[in-house]
Amino acid sequence: DSDDGRPRAVVKLASDMSPTAANDLQTPPAPSRTLSWCERRDGLRARLEEERPAEIGVEEIEVHFAAMPAHYWERVQEPDLLWGLETIHGFLKLIASPQVPATAPFVCWRQVHEPHGARVMLCTWDRHGLLAKAAAAFSAVRLNIIQADVFTRADHIVLDEFLVTEADQRSASPEARLQEMAFLLEGALSEPPRFASVWACSRHKYLARPTSVAPRITFDDQSSPDSTLVHVVAADFLARGAPGLHV
């Protein structure tokens, strides 16, 4: 809790996770592209049944396997599956407290070395403008989004992962800056939003360098049977998710 007694978003460092999950996140195995998403999901379920995380119940696991979209199972690897389950478990435990509003996000991260930066996982309820507010929170603390993987379960729980770096991509993301990002995001998602978070997350709009490159947006509803692909071509600037945004 803060000094004013208001609950804050819970931030969990990777060092707080189980040793096996933390170690596996260092070098995730290469994904297999030879299996369908159903086969990959069933294979991961079988491996998880052999050694289920002690703190995560069977029902939580079953809901996750039933509610995650197909494109999640096409790319997720076992270490990230475990990390995601732990993150969702942390979110559900957080909002179960009567002192914590349902709007609170659960944020955790792990430092990486190639590129230098951090992998940040966010779990909260789905809502309008969530991705934009998350990107604005990163921008407010001068962290650049290199890649984002965005997934929404059938029960409206969002599990997003961001790869973020310093602007130079040569130095690690400071823990204090990641903590500040989580604080700003929690304030931006609260009802009503905190003024400090709204101001901090909006200033990047006015600090962006002018560009002569006009943005171009195209829509593709032919490549996927259940999704619309949105292609955005624009000049790069701090906190835009580039080059890979997977929704």
pLDDT at 141 over 50: yes
Apex 45 CA angle, 26 and 151, nearest 5: 65
Distance separating alpha carbons of residues 13 and 145, to the nearest angstrom: 19
> What is the structure's pLDDT at 225?
76
Q: Longest C-alpha distance within the chain, in Å? A: 56
Q: Which helix (H) or strand (E) holds 166?
A: none
Q: pLDDT tens-digit profile of 26-80?
A: 433 434 668 899 999 999 999 888 888 889 999 999 999 999 999 999 989 999 9
Helix%, strand%, coil% for the chain, nearest 5:
40, 20, 40
pLDDT in tens, 86-137: 999 999 999 999 999 999 999 999 998 877 889 999 999 999 999 999 999 9
Per DSSP, 243 falls in state S
pLDDT classification of 195: cutoffs 50, 70, 90: confident
Q: What is the pLDDT of residue 5?
A: 53
Q: Higher pLDDT residue, 135 or 15?
A: 135
pLDDT over 90 (residue 155) = yes
Of the pLDDT bands very low, low, confident and very high (cuts 50, 70, 90), residue 200 is confident
The pLDDT of residue 133? 92
pLDDT at 242: 42
Q: What pTM value is reported for the model?
A: 0.77
Q: How far does CA 39 lie from the centroid of its chain? A: 25
Using N-to-C axis directions, what is the helix angle for 195-202 and 175-189, rounded to 10°?
120
Containing H/E element for 121? strand 116-125
| Residue range 203-212: mean pLDDT, rounded | 60
